[in-house]
Amino acid sequence: MTDDRHAAIPSQIRKALEALPAPALETLSGAWCWDVGAKRLHADGRFAQLCNLAPESAAAGVPTSSFFAAIHPDDVMRIKIAVAGVMHGSELFAKEYRVGEARTGYRWVSARGAAERDADQHVLRFSGVLTDITEQKRVQEQLRIAQTAGGVGTFGYTSGFGTVEVSDQFCRLLGLSPTDALPVRTVNGAVIQGGEIIETGRRELGGLEQAEFLIVRPDTGEHRWIARRGEVVRDDFSDGERMVGVIHDVTEFKRVEAELRRLTAALEDRVDARTRERDQVWNLSKDLLFVAGRNGKFRAINPAWEKVLGFSSEELVGAPVHALIHLDDLPAMHERMARAARGESIGEFECQVRSRDGAFRWFSWTTTPAGDAIHATGRDITARKALEDQLRQSQKMEAVGQLTGGLAHDFNNMLTGVLGGIDMVRRRLRDGRMQDVERFLEAASTSGQRAAALTHRLLAFSRRQSLHSAPVDVEALASSMADLLRRTLGEQIRLELEMTPQLPMALADANQLESAILNLAINARDAMPSGGVLTIRARALTLDDAELQRSDHATAGDYVEISVADTGGGISREVLGKVFDPFFTTKPIGQGTGLGLSMIYGFVQQSHGHVRVESHVGQGTIFRLYLPVHVGETQVAIDEAQPAPGGAGQSVLVIEDDASVRLLVVQVLEELGYRPLETTGSREALPLLQSDAPIDLLITDVGLPGLNGRQLAEIARERRPQLPVLFMTAYAEPALDQNQFLDEGMAIISKPFGIDQLAQRIALMFGR
Amino acid sequence: MTASVNLTELEHDALTELVNIGVSRAASSLRSMVGEQVLLSVPSVDVVTRMAAATLIRERESEELVAVRQDFEGAFSGRAMLIFPQANSLELVKAVTGDDLDACEVRAMEMEALAETGNVVLNGCLATMANLLRRPLTMSLPEVVRGDGKLFFEIENPPEDDAVVLFLYINFTISGRDIRGYIAMLMDLPSLRALKELVGEFIASVMATDDLGELG
C-alpha cells in the first residue's frame, strides 16, 4: 500500500493496519501432552515459560492440574469446560485465554489441541500447542476499537466468491447480525440507491473512488447513508483480485448537508423575495430611478422613464446623463455629477430633463453613491414648478400693482403734460396763434417720452420684455434712474450716487439692470423705515476664480461692480443665507413677494455675473452686483436727433392691426418718400406676399391676430429671401433673446417709438 | 436478539462445548459411514427468537435452503433442523455418496442421502448431549424440506409457545469439501429452562472434578 492510498482511509484504521503486518506469531510455540492414563502433564520449555512452570519438571511431568495453574481466574472455568468437552468426545480444542500471573502480567495464548483415543473412544492423550498471541490480540483489540470508535466497518472480497469477509462493525453499519462472512447479495441487497457496495465485476487494480449508498437497515427499516472507500489489490492466495475497503455511516453528514442546502435554498428564496420587492419598487415607482456609472452614463433606468419621458431602456442605457439635461442646468448638473462620482450624496437638485418629444420637465434629484455606481431618484416637479411660476408671475404682477400705485401719479402728470400740450396747440391753431406751438409740442413730447421710459421699466420688471445683453453705460443708467429712485424712496431717505468716472461698459440687459437696482432700492427703503442713506456706487475691478468660487457662470476677469448700500437694521446671519431663495421674505404677508432678490440673482447669473451680499446687524446691508465688462467696440448710439434720410419711392409693405399706429407709420413712410402698402393682418398681406408685387421692405407688428409677424416674415422670404424685415413690438414674449428671434436682415423696434427713430431704422434697413 | 431465558457466559460456553461434543460424535459416525475424513465444528451458539433465527439465515444465505428436520422429546423437547444452502446440500450428498455417481444419480439419491446424513448429525448431536446430561431423549424420523428461514421457523403462523431457537453455526469438511450449514433447535421456554438447568449441572460436575481426565 502506498501512502496516498492510506490517505483515503480513516486514521484509526490506518494505525491498526500499520500495526498488523508485523510478524505477530511467535515462532516458538509451546507444546503439551496430557497423559490421561498416567495423570501427568508433559510440556516443553516454551509452554513451561508461558505457564510459569519449572522447565525441567515440566519436561519430566507435572500434575495435570498444572495445565490450569497459570490460567487467568476469569478464563479458567471456560477452559476447564472446554477440556471437559475434549475428554467427553469433542474432537477439537481451540481456545484463546490468558496465562501468567498477576504480578508479572498475563499474556494471551491460543491453544489448539486434540484428543488421541483408543478404539473405544477413550481418551489416551490430549496434546496440543500453545502460542503467544498477545501482540496479535493487542492489534486486534486496537482494530476493533478503531472500527467501533470510528464507526468504520471493514470488508474484503475476493473476486468470484459468493461471500465477502466482513468485520462486526461492517455488519452493524448495515443493520445485520455480526458475523465474519456475508453473502455478497445480502450486502448489496441492502442498497436502494447508489449501486453495489461490493462491485463483483470490478477487476482493475487501484483505488476505489468514494461512493455513497442509501441503504435500508433490515433490523430497523431505517434509511441510512453509507460511504465506501477502498482499493482493489492482487490477491496473494487466489491469484485473483481482492477488493478491500471500509464503510462508514454518513447519514448525519448527509442530513446536515441537506439541511445546509435547504437553508441555502431558503436564503436564496428570501433574497429572491427581497429582490422581487425591490424590483417592484423599481418597476412601479412613478419617480424616475436610474443607476449611472461614475463616468456619468446610464446603466439602468426604471420603467417610469418610458411612462414619463418616453425613453426606453434600450435608448438610454450607455448614453450620458447630461444629454437629457436642459442647457441652463448643465453646469450645475456637471458639478453635481462630479460630486456624486466622488461618493457624495446629492439631495434635492432641481433641473429640467428633456422628454422624447423635446419638451422639458422639471425633476428634483437625489443621488446616493453605491460602489462604483450612482443611484438616483428623480421626482417630477413640473406641476409644482408651473405653479411656482404662476405664483411668481402673479406675485410679480402684485408687485407691479404696488409700483403702479406709486407711479400712477407720475404717469398722470406725464399724460397731463401730453394732453395739455396737444390741447394748447389745438387752441393756438384755432386762434391762429402759431408762436407758442412749438413750445407746447416740445413739452408734450417730453412727457410722452418719460411715460414711454416708465412703461419700459415696468415691462422689464414683469419680465415680459425681451432680453438683450448689450453694452450698458452703468453710470448713465444709474444717473437716469435717480429721479425715479428719489420718488420711490420718499423724503426720509437720502440717495447718493458715487460713480467712478470713465467706467467701462458692462455687458447686460439694461432694463434688467434698472429693474434690479430699483428692487434693491425698494428693499433698502423698507429696511430703513425711519430714514437713512441709500448709496449706489459703481466701479470697475478684476475678480479671480477664488472670489467667484460660489458663482455658477462667472469666470475670472474684469467686472463692473454696482453696489446698493443702506444704513438700515442689517440682516442676521441665518437670514443672510436665504435672501436669494425664491419667496423668501421677511416682510409681513401681502407686503412683499420675496421674489425680488431671486430675480436679481437669476438675472446676474444669466448675465454671467455674480452677486454678493454683506450685512452687519445694526449697520446696514450692501448688495454687490458684478457684471462682466464688455470687451470690444462700443456701438455708437444712433443719434436720433439727426434728421432721417428720405426714401426714393421704395415699396414698403406695412402690416399692423392697430389703426392709429398703422396710420402713423404709413404717414411717416409717405412723408419720407417711400411707397407704403397698407394691410391690417395676414389675410390682406398674404396675397401680396405670395404675388410678384415688388416689395422692398416689410414692416410688421409682431403680435397679430392669426399668423404673427415672425411667421409672415418667413412666408415673405420664401419668394424674396433677401427681403429686409422690421418688426414692431409693444412687448415680445417669444422674442426673449433677440439674437435667436432675428435672422439676417431683420431688426426690431420697440413701441412706442418716435417718428425720427422709425425713420432712422428704416434708413438703416435700406443700408443707409 | 436473545430470548427471554438468558444463559450466563459460562453456561453459553458449556452449551457450545456440549454441542461440540455432539457434533464430534456425529462426525465420527459420518466418518465411518463415508470412510473419509470428516471434520465438524461449531464455533458458536446463539439463543435467539424464531424471527431472529429467520433473519440470521436470510442475511447469510441468499439462495434456497434445504433442511433435514427431526422432532425430539425428553427432558427438553423441540424440533432439530440441519440446514444447508441448496448448492452445499448437493456437495454434501456427493461427499457422502462418493464422486463416482453422475449428476442424475446424485439428484435421485439426494433426498435419501440428505435424510440419512441429517439423522446422523442431529441424532449424534442430540443423543450425545442427552447422554452427557444423563437424560433420555427420543427422536422422530428425519424429514427433508426445502424453503427459506421463514418457512423453517414458522414465521407466517407461529405457534403460541414462546419458542426460542438454539442456533448453531456448523462447519463441515468432508473429503476436502468445505460445507457450511446450521443446526437449529426449536424449543419452548420450559424446555430451554430445563436445558439451562442441565447445563448448570454439567458445569458443576466439571468443577467438582480435580482431574478432568477422569471424565473421559
pLDDT digits (tens, 9 = 90+) for A53-88: 888 888 888 998 889 988 999 999 889 989 988 888
For A618-623, what is the mean pLDDT? 89
The rounded distance, in Å, linking the Cα atoms of A109 and A135 is 10
Q: What is the pLDDT, as a whole number, of residue A403? A: 59
Residues 6+ apart with CB under 8 A from B153: B50, B51, B53, B54, B57, B165, B184, B186
Same fold, A25-132 and A285-380: yes
pLDDT average, residue stretch B85-111: 77
| CA A47 from centre of chain | 91
What pLDDT, on a 0 to 100 scale, did the predictor assign at position A105? 87
Mean per-residue pLDDT, A595-602:
70
Rounded to a whole number, what is the distance in Å from the CA of A91 to chain B's nearest CA?
A: 6
Give mean pLDDT, residues A38-63.
Answer: 88
Interchain contact, A177 vs B20, CB within 8 Å? no
Å between B84 CA and nearest CA of chain A: 14
Rounded Cα–Cα distance for residues A21 and A237 (Å):
16
Pick B20's closest partner by Cβ from A64, A78, A85: A85
d(CA B91, CA A423): 157
Say whether residue A200 is in contact with chain B using an 8 A CB cutoff: no
Q: CA of A514: how far to CAs of A181, A452, A454, in Å?
A: 115, 15, 11
Q: Does A80 touch chain B (CB under 8 A)?
A: yes
The answer to whether the CB atoms of A183 and B10 lie below 8 A apart is no
A64/B213 touch (CB, cutoff 8 Å), yes or no: yes
- Residue A407 banded pLDDT, cuts 50, 70, 90: low
Residue of A nearest to B213 (CA): A36
The predicted structure's pLDDT at residue A589: 44
Q: How far apart are CA A358 and CA A339, in angstroms?
A: 28
Residues 333-372 of chain A with CB under 8 A from chain B are none
Is the preceding peptide bond at A752 cis, omega within 30 degrees of 0?
yes
d(Cα A411, Cα A451) in Å, to the nearest integer? Answer: 6
Question: Which residue in B65, B56, B23, B61 sits closest to B173, CA to CA?
Answer: B23
Per-residue pLDDT, averaged over A680-691, amounts to 87
Q: Is pLDDT above 80 for B101?
A: no
Q: Say if A177 is an interface residue toward chain B (CB within 8 Å).
A: yes
| CA–CA min distance B25, chain A (Å) | 7
Confidence band of A535 (pLDDT split at 50, 70, 90): very high
Q: Which residue does chain A place closest to B28, by CA atoms?
A: A91
- The C-alpha angle A264, A265, A266, rounded to 5 degrees, equals 90
| A340 class by beta-carbon count within 10 Å (0-12 exposed, 13-18 middle, 19+ buried) | buried
Determine the pLDDT at residue A485.
83
Is A77 an interface residue toward B (CB < 8 Å)? Answer: yes
Mutate to test the interface with A, among B30, B32, B59 (most CBs of A within 10 A): B59
Asked if A39's CB is within 8 angstroms of B13's CB, the reply is no
Range from A134-148, A387-401, A669-683 carrying the lowest mean pLDDT: A387-401
pTM of the predicted model over 0.80: no
**CA nearest to B96, candidates B27, B169, B170:** B27
Does the pLDDT value for residue A3 go beyond 50? no
By CA distance, what is B2's nearest residue in A? A177
Are the CB atoms for A321 and A299 separated by under 8 Å? no
Within 10 Å of residue A588's Cβ, how many Cβ atoms? 7
Residue A60's beta-bridge partner residues?
Answer: none
Q: Which of A32, A66, A79, A81 best probes binding to B when mutated, by most B CB atoms within 10 angstroms?
A: A81
Confidence of residue A418 (pLDDT cuts 50, 70, 90): confident
Domain A25-132 top-level CATH class: alpha beta
pLDDT > 60? residue A422: yes
Taking an 8 Å Cβ-Cβ cutoff, which residues of chain B contact chain A? Answer: 1, 9-10, 13-14, 17-18, 20-21, 24-25, 27-28, 39-41, 52, 55-56, 58-62, 128, 132, 203, 206-207, 209-213, 215-216
**How many Å apart are CA A367 and CA A377, to the nearest integer?**
6
pLDDT, tens digit (0-9, with 9 covering 90-100), for A488-515? 787 888 999 998 888 898 988 887 788 7
Query: What is the 3 state secondary structure string of A261-277?
Result: HHHHHHHHHHHHHHHHH
Helix (H, G, I), strand (E, B) or coil at B188: coil
Proportion of chain B above pLDDT 70, given as a percent: 90
| CA-based nearest distance B105→chain A, Å | 27
**Inter-chain touch B55–A126, beta carbons under 8 Å:** no
Q: What whole-number distance in Å separates Cα of residue B75 and Cα of residue B132?
A: 12
* Closest CB to A81 among B39, B41, B206: B206
Cβ atoms of residues A92 and B20 within 8 Å: yes
Quick one: pLDDT band at residue A16, thresholds 50, 70, 90? very low
Contact A84 B28 (CB under 8 A): no
Q: Is A176 on the interface with B (CB under 8 A)?
A: yes
3-state helix, strand, coil in chain A (%, to 5): 40, 30, 30
Chain B contact for A183 (CB, 8 A cutoff):
yes
CB-CB neighbors (< 8 A) of A185 in chain B: 62
Helix (H) or strand (E) run with residue B94 in it: helix B86-97
Q: Which three cell numbers stand for residue A524?
A: 433698502
Mean per-residue pLDDT, A643-647 = 67
Quote the Cα angle for A132-A137-A142, to 5°. 155
Q: Where do the structural domains in chain A lie, given as residue ranges?
A: 25-132, 138-249, 285-380, 392-460, 466-628, 651-765
DSSP alpha helices (H): ranges in A607-747?
Answer: 659-672, 682-690, 709-719, 738-741
Question: Are residues A615 and A622 in contact, defined by beta-carbon separation less than 8 angstroms?
Answer: yes
Which cell numbers hold the place of A482? Answer: 435717480
Q: What pLDDT is stored for residue A13 in this prediction? A: 44
pLDDT for the residue numbered A644: 61
How is chain B split into domains, by residue range? Answer: 9-207
Q: Does residue A583 surpass a pLDDT of 60?
A: no
Contact A308, A285 (CB under 8 A): no
End-to-end CA distance of chain B: 35
Average pLDDT of chain A, as a whole number: 81
In the prediction, which pLDDT does A636 show?
A: 42
Q: pLDDT > 70: what percent of chain A?
A: 85
Buried/exposed code over A403-440 (b: 16+ C-beta within 10 A; e: otherwise): beeebeeebeebeebbeebeebbeebeeeeeeeebeeb
The residue among A229, A227, A271, A273 whose CA lies nearest residue A253 is A227
User: Residue A97: pLDDT above 50?
Assistant: yes
Residue bearing the bigger pLDDT, A39 or B102: A39
Distance from CA of B6 to the nearest CA of A (A): 17
Residue B177 in grid coordinates: 469439501
> How many CB atoms neighbour CB A277 within 10 A?
10
Of the partner residues A81, A90, A179, the one whose CB lies closest to the CB of residue B13: A81
Which CATH topology does A651-765 take? Rossmann fold (3.40.50)
A89 reaches B (C-beta below 8 A): yes
A249 vs A596: which has the higher pLDDT: A249
Give domain B9-207's CATH architecture: 3-Layer(aba) Sandwich (3.40)
Give the pLDDT of residue A4: 42
DSSP A630: P
Mean pLDDT of the A226-231 span: 91
* pLDDT band with cut points at 50, 70 and 90 for residue A624: very high
Q: CA neighbours within 13 Å on the CB side: how many for A623?
A: 28
Task: Give the CATH H-level superfamily of domain A466-628.
Answer: Histidine kinase-like ATPase, C-terminal domain (3.30.565.10)
pLDDT at B88 over 70: yes
pLDDT exceeds cutoff 60 at A2 = no
**Cβ–Cβ gap B17/A84 under 8 Å:** yes
User: Is A391 strand, coil or helix?
Assistant: helix
- Please state which CATH number belongs to domain A285-380: 3.30.450.20
Q: Which helix (H) or strand (E) holds A722?
A: none
- Place A401 in a pLDDT band, splitting at 50, 70 and 90: low
What pLDDT does A226 receive?
92
What Cα–Cα distance (Å) separates residue A674 from each residue in A143, A517, A671, B75? 130, 43, 7, 160
Q: Which of A65, A122, A177 sits opposite B210 (nearest CB)?
A: A65
Taking CA–CA distances from A36, the nearest residue in chain B reads B213
Of B36 and B76, the one with more pLDDT: B76
Give this complex's ipTM: 0.85
pLDDT above 80 (res B162): no
A643 pLDDT higher than 80: no
Q: How many CA atoms lie within 13 A of A110 on its CB side?
A: 14
Q: What local confidence, expressed as pLDDT, does residue A697 receive?
A: 92
Q: Which residue, among A746, A732, A724, A660, has the nearest Cα to A702 in the 3D structure?
A: A732
pLDDT at A553: 67
Residue B87 pLDDT greater than 90, yes or no: no
Chain A hits for B168, CB-CB cut-off 8 Å, are none
Confidence band for B215, pLDDT divided at 50, 70 and 90: low
Identify which of A124-133, A627-636, A735-744 has the greatest average pLDDT. Answer: A124-133
Task: Write the CB contacts of A708 (distance below 8 Å, at least 6 apart in sequence).
Answer: A702
> In A466-486, which positions are buried (b, 16+ CB within 10 angstroms) versus exposed (e)?
bbbbebbbbbebbeebeebbe
Nearest Cα neighbor of B121 from B20, B7, B203, B11 is B20
Cβ distance A87 to B213 less than 8 Å, yes or no, reads yes
Residue, of A532 and A594, whose pLDDT is higher:
A532
CB contact under 8 A, A89 and B27: no
Fold classification of A138-249 (topology level): Beta-Lactamase (3.30.450)
Q: What does the pLDDT read at residue A402?
A: 59
pLDDT at A281 over 80: yes
Shortest distance, CA A77 to any CA of chain B (angstroms): 7
Q: Is B128 left (phi over 0), alpha (psi -120 to 50) or beta?
A: alpha
- What's the order of all strands across the beta sheet hosting A725-729? A675-679, A651-655, A697-701, A725-729, A746-750
What is residue A126's three-state secondary structure? strand
A626 — pLDDT class (breaks 50, 70, 90) = very high
Shortest distance between the Cα of A10 and any Cα of chain B, in A, equals: 27
* pLDDT at residue A622, rounded to an integer: 92
The predicted pLDDT at position A109 comes to 92
